[in-house]
Amino acid sequence: MTPLEQVQQQFAKDIIETHAFRGDETAVIRPGVLLNVAKFLKETPELGFNFLMDLTAVDYLFFAGGRISKEYRFEVVYHLYSLKHNHRIRIKVPLTEENPEVDSLDKLWASANWYEREVWDMYGVKFKGHPNLKRILMYEEFKGHALRKDYPFNKRQPLIGPQN
């Protein structure tokens, strides 16, 4: 049974959709079950996803040339890998514009700490339970989130000079 099939079996009611192509398996899940799915993927011995390779976000504000037709604006995307079993899985979590928030995976994978801070800084997605959710790429006084598609590219930011 593939990792995707095991996730489908365990969390059938919480999966929005799945797809697999040439060994590239993806599950789109409801935001409220992310922590449970992540624990299952890491702690189930035959899965053993011990490496969070990447965590990023996608802003679907403009989709196919106009306002998105989907009911959500953001998607947080997790790429997991099992060193022992040499398999991968991608988990996607759709989030609304009104409440872009999902559980932190910092306690499961230490690498999530930096990735979550980056996604917060660039997209404004909040991670519940993160120990230090603050800007990591932009300076603290920066207004907005630079990778959001509605961020004005010519916006002037406060200038920060040398601190004495």
Q: Could you give all domains of the chain from N- to C-terminal order, each with its CATH number?
A: 3-128 (3.30.460.80)
The pLDDT, as a whole number, for residue 64 is: 54
Q: Band the pLDDT of 69: cuts 50, 70, 90.
A: low
Residues 114, 121 contacting (CB under 8 angstroms): no
**Separation in Å, CA 40 to CA 5, 12, 160:** 13, 13, 45
What share of the chain has pLDDT > 90, as a percent? 74
* Burial readout 34-46 (b: 16 or more C-beta within 10 A, e: otherwise): bbebbebbbeeee
d(CA 79, CA 25): 10
Please check the confidence at residue 51 and state whether its pLDDT lies above 60: yes
Confidence of residue 63 (pLDDT cuts 50, 70, 90): low
Position 152 confidence tier, pLDDT thresholds 50, 70, 90: confident
State mean pLDDT over 70-86: 93
Closest to 23 in 3D by CA, of 9, 5, 11, 41: 5
The whole-chain average pLDDT of the chain stands at 91
Q: CA 72 → CA 24, 76, 82, 137, distances in Å?
A: 24, 11, 30, 26
| pLDDT tens, residue by residue, 109-126 | 999 999 999 999 999 999
Provide mean pLDDT across the span 62-88. 82
Rounded Cα distance between 110 and 34, Å, is 16
Q: How far apart are the first and last CA of the chain?
A: 61
